[in-house]
Structure 1
Amino acid sequence: MCRCCWCVDVALDLDLFREKLLLLKQMLLAREEMSKEGRAPVTLEQDSVGRLSRIDAMQVQAMALAQQRRRESERAAIDAALRRIEEGEFGYCITCGEEIAEARLFNLPSVASCIECARQK
């Protein structure tokens, strides 16, 4: 490994982004664990729950499932960013190959596109 100042700074930055991504993934997994109850199937027993209560329960379940899909998408983006770090491609747009602004990466480390390519989508 090269010992010049630039290479050391880049390695430290990648470590920072790796740690941030792993923390985000850990937080997602914790939220997923907490929301398991909301995704449970709604029982439709006529005797135990009124019609409006069942509708409310079904809406809560639908929202919990939608949140779960978002978390799965976020987790996939985080895993992809971690792979890009390992492969030496982190920080470069997957569409045009240009560098992604460091401020953009810091705010959303799982981002895979530069701002220009993201605007075009």
Structure 2
Amino acid sequence: MTDSEKKKLIKIIAKRIEYTKEEIEELKELVKPIPLDASIGRVSRMDAINNKTINESSLREKKQELKKLERAFENSESEKFGICTKCGDAIPFGRLEYMPHTTRCVKCVG
């Protein structure tokens, strides 16, 4: 990986961290408890509960993604950044650009 590619990846990771934090805050608002005195019908309440469950799942996933991105950002100065943890080959730049938190190349994931 070249220095310019590494700098580009660090910027991508920083932007994704910022964006993911914003998404987490939005999801936190969506998973707040549904008040019992809210004037919505029975079916609407069931929809609201279902949506809340889906949003809670999304929130958990985003929090995990944030941890991975923060770990990638911390490790970005390491010599092993961009190197597959399983086979030791370089992870292609395109894969890192799409999934900057990945630690394995495509052949080692499957």
TM-score (norm 2): 0.87
- Which stretches of structure 1, 4 residues or longer, exceed 4 Å deviation after superposition? none
RMSD over equivalenced CA pairs, Å: 1.8
What residue is the counterpart of 1:25 in the other structure?
17
**Structure 2: unaligned runs, 5 residues or longer:** none
Task: Please tell me whether the aligned partners of residues 44 and 54 of structure 1 are also in contact (alpha carbons under 8 angstroms).
Answer: no
- Which of 39, 42, 50 pairs up with 1:51? 42
Matched, 1:11 2:3: yes
For residue 70 of structure 2, what is the aligned residue in structure 1? 79
Structure 1 alignment gaps of length 5 or more: 1-8
Paired residues, number:
110
Residue of 92, 111, 116 corresponding to 2:83: 92
SS of the residue 1:117 aligns to: helix
Identity %, equivalent residues:
25
The structure showing larger relative contact order (alpha-carbon pairs under 8 Å, at least 6 residues apart) is: 2
Q: Separation in 2 of the partners of 1:100 and 1:73?
A: 21
Q: Which whole-Å CA distance do the structure 2 matches of 1:10 and 1:109 have between them?
A: 15
Higher Cα Rg, which structure: 1
Compute the TM-score of the two structures, normalised by the length of structure 1. 0.80
